[in-house]
Amino acid sequence: MKVSIITAVRNGVASIATTLNSVAEQTHPDIEHVIVDGASTDGTVERVRALATRPVRLQSEPDRGVYDAFNKGLALATGDLVAYLNCGDSYWSPRVVADVVRRFGAGDVDAVFGDLIIVDAEDTRVAVRRYRSSRFKPSRIAYGFMPAHPTLFLKRSVYERYGGYDTSYRIAGDFEFIARVFPDPSLRYACLPDQLVRMPRGGLSTAGPRSNWIITREMQRACAKNAIPTNLLKLLLRFPVKITEFLAPG
């Protein structure tokens, strides 16, 4: 299977090498790396061109946010499987993509995901939290649960059937996509019992209380859009679970 890995970036010259190197190190032989740059002004594009060793499809132009960039990457992608790995994120080991492809090859799945390790931004060897995707079930979307999006690999046909990302969301566009797709009982998925992606703390979804409030309200709107009954109390109940992830980050 050919795998398209999409990276959205804007002014990421200091961290894009981490992501480029991680994709380059993957043992799966058929990977296309799609870089969607939001008109960076710090030399990101030049750094991508200098460091890329895998086949790269690079587009650099202004965009309307990360989910617009996601959709642009999706339009460029030609792989059988599609995944998103943002600037600064990296795969846990060189075998991650090969392991995921092997699971797809075993049949009967449209989606594969696993755990996300959130690490200290200054020292990425220090794990801060383990986001456990195994806790996800479609019935728990109403409580704000979803697979860790950077670990999610989907067949291209899923995007062809359900469409891309809603660009009206600031932080929870990936949650809205999950809320739109995963309640369909015909969608088949598998959760690998492994950590797949390493993400430095401090991104849009891990930036503090104000970010948590914005994402919670956007989750509520996403559930309403997709006819999933919920309320703010249900969505806030996910935070005690998150505390246990900090206590044992793995």
Residue type (1 letter), 208: G
Q: What is the pLDDT, as a whole number, of residue 52? A: 85
Q: How deeply is 54 buried, as exposed, middle or buried, from its count of CB atoms within 10 A (0-12, 13-18, 19+)?
A: middle
Give the model's pLDDT for residue 32.
Answer: 96
* C-alpha closest to that of 136 among 148, 124, 125, 126: 148
Query: Residue 37 sits in which domain range?
Result: 3-247
Please tell me the predicted confidence (pLDDT) of residue 138: 97
**Distance in angstroms (rounded) separating the CA atoms of residues 180 and 139:** 13
List the chain residues with pLDDT less than 70: 203-208, 247-250
Q: What is the pLDDT at residue 249? A: 46
CA-to-CA separations, 66 to 19, 47, 203, 244, in angstroms, rounded:
17, 20, 12, 29
Please give the pLDDT value at position 209.
73
CATH number for position 218: 3.90.550.10
Helix (H) or strand (E) holding 56: strand 56-60
Q: Which regions of 72-207 does DSSP assign to beta strands (E)?
A: 81-84, 90-91, 111-119, 127-131, 153-155, 189-200
* pLDDT tens-digit series, residues 98-138: 999 999 999 899 999 999 999 988 888 888 899 999 999 99
The secondary structure of residue 70, as a DSSP letter, is: H
- Report the relative pairing of strands 31-37 and 3-9 from DSSP bridges: parallel
pLDDT (0 to 100) of residue 203: 58
Q: What is the pLDDT of residue 250?
A: 47
When divided into structural domains, the chain yields a total of 1
Q: What angle do CA 162, 168, 171 make, to 5 degrees?
A: 95
Q: What local confidence, expressed as pLDDT, does residue 208 receive?
A: 62
| Cα distance between residue 181 and residue 177, in whole Å | 6
Tell me phi and psi for residue 111, to 5 degrees: -145, 145
pLDDT at 245: 73
pTM over 0.75: yes
